[in-house]
Amino acid sequence: MVSKVTIAPQGPEFSQMIQGYWRLAEWGMTPQERLTFLKQHIELGVTTVDHADIYGGYECEQLFGEALKLDPCVRDQIEIVTKCDINLCVDKFPQRKVNHYDTSAAHIYQSVNNSLERLAVEQIDVLLIHRPDALMDADEVAEAFAELRKVGKVKHFGVSNFSPRQFELLQSRVSQPLVTNQVEINPLNFDVVHDGTLDQMQMLRTLPMAWSCLGGGSIFSGDTEQATRVRDVLEAIRAEIGASSIDQVIYAWVRRLPSNPLPIIGSGKIERVKSAVESLQFELTREQWYRVWVASKGHGVP
Ligand code: NAP
């Protein structure tokens, strides 16, 4: 069973593993099947769900909301994360000429109102700025956050894909602690281990959320030399620790980091979610962790 953890000094509490809903529109589920899937992962203790306004071309929040409307009480059993600031050129926005970022207060308000309506909820637990915006005015974002908190639409705020300096800049203007930085961590790409991002999280005792732990599936299917080397080592470690599949080794590898990342599960198959949850029983040794590092880099440590 997955337990709850306090992700930042002043909260909130999240489940140790999180369910991602980026791919929900691809799962081809009826509203009832979506509700069943949601209840099944809640049953496993995975109570935190990760969304973004843009997922599924602005469709996924709505699909989730339709399921929630079938049994509104379920809202009280989950923590909802969603994001804003990416503006996509899709059919519903014909006036946009290029994908871009927008952290203006007006856009943040609009995006939150849309998310609340689509998700069919009164409040978002954590709102993240999805990607760093070169034109971000930190004072303006801080004001928008304060207003959204005051009117009760959002409880907590955080960021995603921010560098340590970008995190510091925004934190210098926002009065509440930013509660997470959601970043990519997997054996094929772990730049955040070395660029100060996870050091900053550890320093602040703020837990990062880890996206695409399985490399979006490419760890299983990738045919590059790097992917092949990594798969071989993961398979060897799987046999050593008695795990049932290499995804369990990967989740254990991500969680071995001292900043205690919270893996976001990307699969819509409950069996794979169960397998991810079962990985909590495994802890890698330092040497096992570094064998994956070496396989990924293609050379030994300096
Ligand atoms: P992931 O776990 O790396 O990839 C999930 C994909 O891998 C799914 O297509 C899944 O297919 C496939 N997969 C899982 N187990 C497999 C196996 N044993 N064999 C073959 N394929 C397998 O996660 P992700 O979906 O890329 O990302 C997870 C979540 O992170 C997203 O839902 C989203 O919430 C978040 N995210 C955030 C950002 C950001 O910028 N903040 C970016 C990307 C993602 P099945 O569905 O068939 O199992």
Residue 1 pLDDT > 90, yes or no?
Answer: no
| Residue 24 DSSP class | G
Tell me the average pLDDT across 193-220: 97
Tell me the average pLDDT across 276-296: 98
Element (H, E) at 127: strand 124-129
Tell me the average pLDDT across 210-220: 96
User: Which of 71, 21, 19, 25 shows the shortest CA–CA distance to 45?
Assistant: 19
Catalytic residue among 55, 58, 101, 290: 55
Ligand 1: atom nearest CA of 26 is: 46
Task: List pocket residues of ligand 1, CB cut-off 6 Å.
Answer: 20-23, 50, 160-161, 182, 211-217, 220, 247, 264, 266-269, 272
Residue 107 pLDDT > 90, yes or no?
Answer: yes
Q: Which mutation among 267, 271, 273, 279 tests ligand 1's pocket best, with the greatest number of atoms within 8 A of CB?
A: 267
User: Which of 19, 40, 46, 35 shows the shortest CA–CA distance to 73?
Assistant: 35
Instruction: Tell me the pLDDT tens digit for each residue of 259-272.
Output: 999 999 999 999 99
Ligand 1: atom nearest CA of 247 is: 18
Instruction: Tell me the pLDDT tens digit for each residue of 37-62.
Output: 999 999 999 999 999 999 999 999 99
Instruction: Tell me the pLDDT tens digit for each residue of 237-255.
Output: 999 999 999 999 999 999 9
Is 109 tagged catalytic? no
